[in-house]
Chain A
């Protein structure tokens, strides 16, 4: 079956612009996660959705970052007033449930470059 997909695969934007990154999870997966991976580092947690609600957004670095999942499937990560430090690969993962016994399946990521 289809895995987690993310669009676009690459995004180049100018400092100060607004960007949206999209994640299509595996069908039927209720849990969805966003992570950010800076060059040469491991992924860092941003936000976790269970269904439509953000159950934990403690990883969002500041209020320029926001994410939604209005119908409990597709999610969009939104970044306002982008800064060069936002450049990274943004990863999305989904799992059947938020419980620890369920594996997270990762998408290929969106590489964001802020110039």
Chain B
């Protein structure tokens, strides 16, 4: 079956530090890959996505590249801000199956200190 593994948190960084959150996946078909973010007190929001190998998704300074050879989709940001403090979820949807249900990782809490 499909699964997503991401690094456990919390990750604590100082403002302007470089961020990497690792994500690897297992899928039986040809997945699309996503990063979702959950800010305190808010619902899940799509941050970025990539639909095929070597695609790079980007949004709000965050980037992630779909690496089929290493089955990875690591999230990076060059300079984090306090407002980036949130829980980040890596997810996939497998186009082998009807519908677009998502398989999520366990989430990584990011705390950015001023």
* Contact across chains for A108 and B89 when beta carbons are under 8 A apart: no
Query: Are B107 and A100 interface neighbours, CB within 8 A?
Result: no
Residues of B within 8 A of A106 (CB): 43-45
Residue among A41, A45, A101, A109 making CB contact with B102, cutoff 8 Å: A45
Is B65 in contact with chain A by the CB < 8 A criterion?
no
| Interface residues on chain A, size class | 20 to 34
Contact A42 B106, beta carbon cutoff 8 Å: yes
Write out, one digit per residue, whether chain B residues 60-97 have a CB within 8 A of any chain A CB (1) or not (0).
00000000000000000000000000000101010101
The answer to whether A20 has its CB under 8 Å from any CB of chain B is: no
Which chain A residues border B95 with CB–CB below 8 Å?
100
- The count of A-to-B residue pairs whose CB atoms sit within 8 angstroms is 66
CB distance from A44 to the nearest CB of B (A): 7
Other-chain residue from A33, A35, A99, A104 in contact with B46 (beta carbon distance below 8 A): A104
Cα–Cα distance between A19 and B102 once the two chains are bound (Å): 25
Q: Which of A3, A40, A44 contacts B104 (CB 8 A)?
A: A44
Q: Which residues of B are in contact with A by a Cβ distance under 8 Å?
A: 4, 32, 42-46, 49, 51, 89, 91, 93, 95, 97-107
On A, residues with C-beta under 8 Å from B are: 3-4, 31, 33, 35, 40-45, 48, 50, 55-56, 59, 91, 93, 95, 98-104, 106-109
Additional pairs, 18, CB under 8 Å, beyond known A56-B97, A104-B46, A106-B45? A40-B106, A40-B107, A42-B4, A42-B106, A43-B89, A44-B104, A50-B99, A93-B44, A95-B100, A98-B98, A98-B99, A98-B100, A99-B100, A100-B51, A100-B93, A103-B49, A106-B44, A107-B43
